[in-house]
Amino acid sequence: MPSLHAAYPMLLLLFFWARGRPWMRALLVGYVLAMAFSLVYLGEHFVIDELAGWCAAAAVYFGGSRLLDWRQRRRLGHDQRGRDRRDSASAAARPWQSSGVPAGFPKGAGRTAR
């Protein structure tokens, strides 16, 4: 039921909206509306199909943006509050990654003075 003919122009509009200049935004809005008008006028889709396509495009755009942001935070080692996960309980579980000294030894153990 959702019209992908209407969803793709809407996806382009959402993707380029923040980066576009005012003339580009007007062009994108005109493209979305022209596609919507032509689809209904030529009998390819109903108006509800276009609205569903626009909603699907918005869900994909905003859902995908959140997913990519989450993956990037996770890849960088930060939790949702922006703190470094390596400083929390995971560092206690892997002490060799944080200080280079095995667990149970004093902090300066194994180092020689130079």
Structure confidence at residue 1 (pLDDT): 85
CA pair distance 26, 67, nearest whole angstrom: 29
Give per-residue pLDDT as tens, 4-22.
999 999 999 999 999 999 9
Average pLDDT over residues 73-94: 62
User: Which pTM value belongs to this model?
Assistant: 0.65
Average pLDDT over residues 52-58: 97
Beta bridge partners of 84: 78
Structure confidence at residue 27 (pLDDT): 97
